[in-house]
Homo-oligomer: A and B are copies of this chain.
Amino acid sequence: MNAELIAVGTEILLGDIVNTDAQLISQGLSELGINVFYQTVVGDNPARLERVVREAKDRADIIITTGGLGPTLDDLTKETLATVFGKKMVLHQPSMDRLTDFFKTIGREMTKNNEKQAWLPEGCTVFTNLWGTAPGCAFEADGKHVLMLPGPPRECNPMWKECAMPYLYKLAGGCIVSRNIRVFGLGESNMENILHDMMEKSANPTIAPYARTSECFARVTAKADTPAECEKMLDPVVDEILKLLGDDVYGVDVDSLEQVVGDGLRERKLTLAVAESCTGGLLSKRLTDIPGASDYYLGGVCSYSNSVKEKVLGVKKETLDTIGAVSPETAEQMAVGVANALGSDIGVGITGIAGPGGGTEDKPTGLVYISVWYDGKFFTRKMQSSLGRDRVRMQAASTALDLIRRHIF
């Protein structure tokens, strides 16, 4: 089976927005083992949309559209697809009721044009939109499958995952479950090397490596008749991968390092404070991206100048003058200094040269020292990267989180 994606929206053709829906859906189809040969973007123009749909009908088994389901006059996706496939449009009363309720709840009058959203191709499967107003839908006709999803990513994303993907699993007569094994401290190609033999052998579940900024993950995907069977197939494979990757795995199906560290601190009733030089507040920002971080995160000091390192964190002038600000000694004094100054159980110190300038032969750009202080002990790591300012900073902040997870949890 192969699928073709059609995004309907003049705002993509104008370059106002980028077509991220296509990426999301393509990734999902790839997991499902469905090939995508073409993606097309077309404006809110019925003649051009019809041309693209007829072309897709000619060459694909599954057509997935995004956008053009809204209430305005130029939202014409459903009408055009219905025309091409010879379907009548009918009122879907439950969708109409949802719309009426929605406008009542927000206390606004429901203008007449909104009703358009409740008209759908006859006999279709309706994807209730829990994230917006326009429902999505799917139907089969002329031996082809058609799925229509709303355009805004905050609606398209969950509807794809919760409605459209399950619909396609069922088409394929089975179901699919994935687990993501998140890794820090190992590059994607190293991970791939370690998992190579397993990946070669595994047809179902499949194992696929992915890279993210300064980390990577392995996605294990099983296909079977029921979720329970999928889970049963996943368990031994995931266990084997965990054994192979060891301590470099920071979690399975978790959001991020900062989430894992946050949960771990909360569980252990430990508090954290961080002192940042070259990362300039990035670690603090990432920790506080998580709602509820105040349960364990007391705060931080960005000591961008040496005077702040001395005055606020108590780094010794002698250390700064002789060994220098970019040194394991300074990182350690920053870690214990911020813990003392802010009264936390754990302290982090990060000092280095993010670049592009500031490097020397002894201390090149991309050299960073990261230290974690806890219970009288230091866990300190040297990092060297040549990937540029943003990625050096990102990796240094991640390294600090990783040290906490490895050595304190």
Contacts and interface: CB of A to CB of B under 8 A. Distances in A.
A15 B25 CA distance: 7
B297 A284 contact: no
Contact of A30 (B15, B307, B354): B15
A288 B302 contact: yes
Q: How many copies are assembled?
A: 2
Contacts of A308: 273, 298-299, 342
B288 A280 contact: yes
Contact of A298 (B40, B291, B307): B307
A279 to B, nearest CB: 8
Given A15-B30, A37-B48, A38-B40, A280 B293 contact: yes
Interface stretch (A16-24, A75-83, A114-122, A139-147): A16-24
Interface string A185-208: 000000000000000000000000
Given A301-B300, A355-B291, A43 B48 contact: no
Say which size band chain A's interface belongs to: 35 or more
Contacts of A55: 55
Interface of A: 12-20, 22-30, 36-43, 45, 48, 52, 55, 210, 273-274, 276, 278-285, 287-289, 291-294, 297-305, 307-308, 311-312, 341-343, 354-357, 389-390
8 cross-chain pairs, A with B, having the tightest CB-CB distances, nearest first: A280-B288, A281-B284, A15-B27, A15-B26, A281-B281, A39-B41, A281-B285, A300-B302
